[in-house]
Each structure stands twice: as structure tokens, then as C-alpha cells.
Amino acid sequence: MTEHPPRSVLLASPRSFCAGVERAIEIVERLLDQRGGPIYVRKQIVHNIHVVRSLEARGAVFVEELSEVPAGATVVFSAHGVSPAVRAEAVSRSLDVLDATCPLVAKVHAEAKRFAERGDTIVLIGHAGHEEVEGTLGEAPDQMVLVETVDDVEALDVTGPVSYLTQTTLAVDETADVIEALQRKFPQLRGPGSDDICYATTNRQIAIRDVAAQSDLVLVVGSKNSSNSVRMVELAARGGTPAYLIDDASEIDPAWLAGVSTVGLSAGASAPPELVDEVVSALRALGSVTVSTHTTATETVSFTLPLAVRRAG
């Protein structure tokens, strides 16, 4: 039997669920408890396959579009938010809507409406095709343009007042470069009153950056369509540490661990914390492991549930 050298696992903290994700999942869980299934959810409630499968097993039905929801049925809007057109469609089909949009995403929507009302062209920094971006663009489709990179900014041909917004789950350092490019191109540029990149995204990036600097390998638990999880992997890799995104412990390739003495471990804001525990157990199965935690922030944020699902007990 091959003897594996002892390894250290350095847990990044904060990690796993953020307040917006917890709120969205709880909305669906409470609806299932109160009304039974099926409860329809437009898109994935949060971007994690394990969360989706767990809720499906309890009676949630995930659909791509509202046309798949029977008229008059209960439907939940995902944490990523929706456009006004989707809301109007729900009204026209007499759907019973519960809105699980993260309040920090809703803040960006409100800013988009405010900037549009004053006549600005709004530059949205984000990733094309992401559900949050599609919802935000829908607030003022004739006045918004999407950019992802500094090169995109240089290619803009815009006159008149310009403001900017960002997707909430972007890489903080890369987004700062894009904002600086916008400020150079549009000296009168106006932005949101506070950063649109959410506290949870920022905190997890700071923590994984610190952990990566002390590790030989970084593992981030999260699904491939989770923007904040992907950004964490990219951030660790930019610092020179090999980094991998895994949905769960089954995706660990033992070859990654060759010559590795310290494994940095975190999870995106939509990944259940128990998946991190399972990764630690899997690493223990491969040899002696000591676990320590590197904490860079303490999160105390919580969001109120919609009145329709609140109840005692």
C-alpha cells in the first residue's frame, strides 16, 4: 500500500452560501412545505446542481421560460433576477409569483431604472448570456450596452451622459480595470452610489487570494455556471497556484495532488457547505490531513423573506 505524505487543508472563510442564496433556497423550501409540489422555478434558483437536484426531489420543477408553467400556477423567480418583460408575462398569465431575486441584484435593477430615467447611456459591465445580466439589460434595453473587457470599452461609440453598473459576481480586480478604462474614455462618467459587486463575492475573492498564496493547489467547490465560483478559480490561478473548480468530491483527480503539501479549499456563494466537508473527507481517505481555517471577514448579512412565505415556526 502506497504511503501518502501528510497534507494540510487550508479552508478559506467566508465560503459557501451567502445571504441572497440562503434566502432564495428558503423561499422555495417554505413554499414546498406550505403548498406541496409542484412549485415552478424559472431557471435554476441558484447556480448549483446539488441545490437544484435537492429541491427537485422535494417537488420543485425548474423551467427555462414561463411558457412552461401552467396558467395560474405558483412560480419563483431565481436569485439572479428577471427583466420587466418577464414580470409582465407572469401577470398576463395570472401566475402566482414569489420573487427570490437577491436584494443586491434588485439594487442594480433600481439603479438601471434611475440612470435610464435621467437619460444616460448605461454601460453594464458583465458576462453576456448570464441570467443576471439579461435581467438587468431588460430594465432599459434601448439605453444599455454590455462590456466585458477594457477592449470592449475602447470600442464604444457613445455620446451624451454615460453611467455604469456591474454584474454582482465579477472579479473585483478585473472590473476595476474596466471601470478605470471607462473613466478615461468618459471623464464625466457616473456610477452607483456603492459598489455593485456584492459583499459575498468580494469577501470570497479576498479569502481565496490569501489562501492561494499559502497553498500548492486550490480547490473551489461550485458549479460551472456559477459566475462567482469561476471568478475564484481564475483569481487563484492568476496568482500562480493551480486551481480547479469541482462540483463535489467525486471530481477530484488524484493526479492533482502529486507533490502537494497544502490544499487551499473554498466554495462559491451558491455551493452547500456540506460539499466542502465531503471534500475534506475525500482528502482524508487519501492520507493524513490536518485542517485549519484562514478567516478574512465575518459575514452577518441576512435578508428578509417575502411576506407570502413568512410564518411562525
Q: Choose among 312, 299, 286: nearest CA to 9.
A: 286
Q: Is the pLDDT of residue 2 over 70?
A: no
The residue annotated as part of the active site, out of 111, 131, 132, 134, is 132
Task: Please state the rounded mean pLDDT for residues 234-258.
Answer: 97
Domains 7-17+199-295 and 19-101 share a fold: no
- Class of CATH domain 104-185: alpha beta
Element of type H or E holding 261: none
Q: Is the pLDDT of residue 3 over 60?
A: no
Give residue limits of the domains in the chain. Answer: 7-17+199-295, 19-101, 104-185
Task: Please state the rounded mean pLDDT for residues 261-284.
Answer: 98
Fold of 19-101: Rossmann fold (3.40.50)
Task: Please state the rounded mean pLDDT for residues 102-116.
Answer: 98
Task: Please state the rounded mean pLDDT for residues 89-98.
Answer: 97
List, as residue ranges, the binding site. 18, 47, 80, 102, 130, 168, 198, 226-228, 270
Task: Please state the rounded mean pLDDT for residues 227-231.
Answer: 96
The CATH architecture assigned to 7-17+199-295 reads 3-Layer(aba) Sandwich (3.40)
Is 251 in the active site?
A: no
Task: Please state the rounded mean pLDDT for residues 153-182.
Answer: 96
List, as residue ranges, the binding site for dimethylallyl diphosphate. 47, 80, 130, 226-228, 270
Give the position of cell 492568476. Answer: 238
Task: Please state the rounded mean pLDDT for residues 48-52.
Answer: 98
Reported as a single tens digit per residue, the pLDDT across 264-275 is: 999 999 999 999
Task: Please state the rounded mean pLDDT for residues 157-179.
Answer: 96
**Helical spans, DSSP H, in 118-187:** 131-137, 150-154, 172-185
The overall average pLDDT reported for the chain is: 96
pTM: 0.95
Sequence-distant (6+) residues with CB within 8 A of 169 are: 132, 197, 198, 201, 227, 228, 231, 269
d(CA 79, CA 66) in angstroms, rounded, equals: 16
